[in-house]
Structure 1
């Protein structure tokens, strides 16, 4: 039996327009980006002679909506494009429909109209900062949204009851991993010590997947007269807000505090295993997430991969990861901290290509009810709703 296709749909409150899409995650493959495509279903009686438009937007939001720009809040449209789909205009650039669009057009009838957008190659991926439980208002985030609406023209104020807005995500999968073994080392000389301390830290590979154990190999040769103790191994997430502010969030998303010691004149060779997971950081403010569609689970943000020709400031927020090994070197003249950092990437693995069946059978799901236990009122118009 051929598999059924899950199609997500959402209708405006007055039922004048509805949007149908086969997916909500769109992948940036670095050399190409999945186009955003779907179908708009209109009710000519409810449209009442108005035009129907579809909009694709990428917005950077930093701070709550109730704070002014001179305080903390800031909102900027990084990308915005609108197309009229009804009455239909001749689109010479895009006359070929995807297979899913063709099936939807057959299924929905004459009042269904396809739409198609291509992302420019300089847009960031979806990312948001996790608020604290006490925080209110919109989250700090780079968000993508598809909106369909009825209006006399695209510049007039949009009526909520005649519009529908859907949150989508732009994501990246891990590229082919290089053969380079990430490592870093440090040699420290201390006062009143003839010989140095040498520490080397290495990882198995440069790219790790979400949920995958990270094995950290630590080698310490303590030729100094200092006693080494309080060794900690951490995975740190670093989020740089590069648009509007220069805020920087550094959070340890996985941590192991050991009782290992390295007396003078001895060595230590050990492998520590850490697994950075959102589940262990649910209540912590400032943790970067891989974007979030309302009522869906997400994970820690993936590492940002920015093309060389793209301005970093346009990316809104950049996320990176590093393993940090710290230890305390104590002696007769006090103590000091020694640290070694090893950068790496944390991303999703590239999935196997889906095998599309020949069946036209489709399962239609309401956007607002997917992954949700219960019912949301029809007037819920949150821009982050999906």
Structure 2
């Protein structure tokens, strides 16, 4: 018999599992998983937890997995899921000669509440792992969405070689996120000059942004400068923001999705100049039906946003990241009897870095960027 329920423990998300194991038919156990929060910062946070047990061995794992394909394909042997990173620790019985642990305020409170059979532990996540990304499924898609996700799982077993059934384990999905760096580069700028037949002088287009990094939900300000010394007329200006998704694991698929676009019926006459700033705001709410759009990792019953730009650090293996996301702003001029004239500029779309007190849900004071969990088992 298995009962699985997801509940709330104050501000802390948690999940409880009650079941009978075949190897212990007369025993029933309960395993609860508590998290201090769902979102963890790239290269800043670590993972802490607490648990108890009376029989066999209790393990907890942290897994980063990449999925690219449909669940039904796994049945015929075409596995499109790969574990990029797996970290396992034995929670009970305690490993001999283990160094004493320094408890965080949240762990101390949970251990007092859960009783004397609670055992704390900590995960240190490896550097250069990918951030959580979900590819938006189509209306008819079923099963798990493609992308990169992180999972924390607790289970009881005689050893790690046993096959762990979903009914006998408790799991919660977490997100690994990246915040915008404090140091930013110069504002992007691009220009081009186009010479037309039957015209002695060229058309010059210059486009620029007011900064390199924009936060989700902020308008992107695009300044367009046109110096039209030709005898042709610019009939329309098109500005768009494109998301480029590179799938670098399993395949070399590349998708470009327009997430925001605007067409301005501005006319620039021959032998004249033009300058104006436009604002565009790329939002997920305007792109709900676009299959394959990259989103920040989605948690159950929670909304998300467009995926943040992937920031590559020196020495990072692109293939391990699974999916790379970038954005660009395109400015195109529609010229009478002359085709289009356009430029492109890279733009970074990310979340701002919040204060420490905002990051660590369930903790009453700053604690240096720690991830917190709690396991509880009782017979």
**TM-score greater than 0.5 by the shorter chain:** yes
Is the 1:62–1:72 Cα contact (8 Å) retained in structure 2?
no
Q: Give the number of equivalent residue pairs.
A: 345
What is the Cα deviation at residue 254 of structure 1?
1.1
Matching residue of 1:13: 18
Deviations 1:22-49 (A, max 9, x none): 1111101xxx33012222354x3xxxx2
Equivalent residue for 1:150, pick from 140, 156, 165: 156
Alignment of 1:343-362 (within 5 A): 343-354=346-357, 357=364
Given the alignment of the two structures, is residue 134 of structure 1 paired with residue 140 of structure 2, yes or no?
Answer: yes
Higher alpha-carbon deviation: 213-222 or 111-120: 111-120
- Quote the Cα distance in structure 2 between the aligned partners of 1:182 and 1:326: 16
Higher alpha-carbon deviation: 149-158 or 190-199: 190-199
Q: Give the TM-score, by structure 1 length.
A: 0.84
What is the Cα deviation at residue 59 of structure 1?
0.4
Partner of 1:106: helix, strand, or coil?
Answer: helix
Higher relative contact order (CA 8 A, sep 6+): 2
Matching residue of 2:46: 35
Is the 2:52–2:92 Cα contact (8 Å) retained in structure 1?
no
Matching residue of 2:274: 268
What is the Cα deviation at residue 328 of structure 1?
1.8
Aligned-residue Cα RMSD (Å) equals: 2.2
Matching residue of 1:217: 223
Matching residue of 1:341: 344
Structure 1 stretches of at least 4 aligned residues deviating more than 4 Å after TM superposition = 68-73
Q: Against the structure 1 CA distance between its residues 323 and 147, is the aligned structure 2 distance closer, same or farther, given a 3 Å change threshold?
A: same
Alignment of 1:192-271 (within 5 A): 192-271=198-277
What is the Cα deviation at residue 177 of structure 1?
4.2
Partner of 2:274: helix, strand, or coil?
Answer: strand
Matching residue of 1:378: none
Matching residue of 2:38: 24
Matching residue of 2:295: 289
Q: Against the structure 1 CA distance between its residues 68 and 50, is the aligned structure 2 distance closer, same or farther, given a 3 Å change threshold?
A: closer
Partner of 1:150: helix, strand, or coil?
Answer: strand
What is the Cα deviation at residue 137 of structure 1?
2.0
Q: Give the TM-score, by structure 2 length.
A: 0.86
Q: Give 5+ residue unaligned stretches, structure 2.
A: 1-8, 20-28, 366-373, 375-379
Is the 1:21–1:39 Cα contact (8 Å) retained in structure 2?
no
